Amino acid sequence: MQITSGVDEDALKLEAEKENLSPEKIAVRLAGAKARAVSLEKLDAFVIGADQVLQCEGSLFDKPRNAEEALAHLKIFQGTTHQLISSVALVFKGETRWVHTETATMTMRPLSDNTLERYLDACGPEVLESVGVYRLEGIGATLFEKIDGDYFTILGLPLLPLLACLRDEEIISD
């Protein structure tokens, strides 16, 4: 079951920026805060929280708010290498039991403005749900020339380490 945490991510990011936290620590903070918020409502449940941060040329990016911002982000990403940092936290009764973070490094090939506009038209509004403005599991894969990292990390959830943790905690069986 998926439950929205209600966590003010913008406020957490501003606080993290003031503290000069690394992108990895920001992802950890966001994932943990989301899981803890839901855990305090569901005290009898193990809660998984996840978040992802995108860093490109020293700047952090949020999900685009609209198609214009999505195009602007893609123009920055094209022809460059960026990092997707994904963090996942397991929380029980408000206490963090486990946290894991992984980074994927992705190189987007050089693309013309026309190609980027056609790409966004083909994707539709769902692409706004992705911090990188792409969905690797679909036509977003065509944007890249090189990818170093775990597929699930790129999708936003380091799944294999999470499954190992859930087995270790005996939440799921082998």
> What values do phi and psi take at 120, rounded to 5?
-65, -40
Longest dimension (CA), the chain: 52
State the CB neighbour count (10 A cutoff) for residue 11: 10
Token pair belonging to 60: 């952090």
Q: How does strand 59-61 pair with strand 81-92?
A: unpaired
Number of H helices, E strands in the chain: 6, 5
**Catalytic residue (choose from 8, 51, 62, 168):** 51
Active site residue 44: no
Catalytic positions are: 51
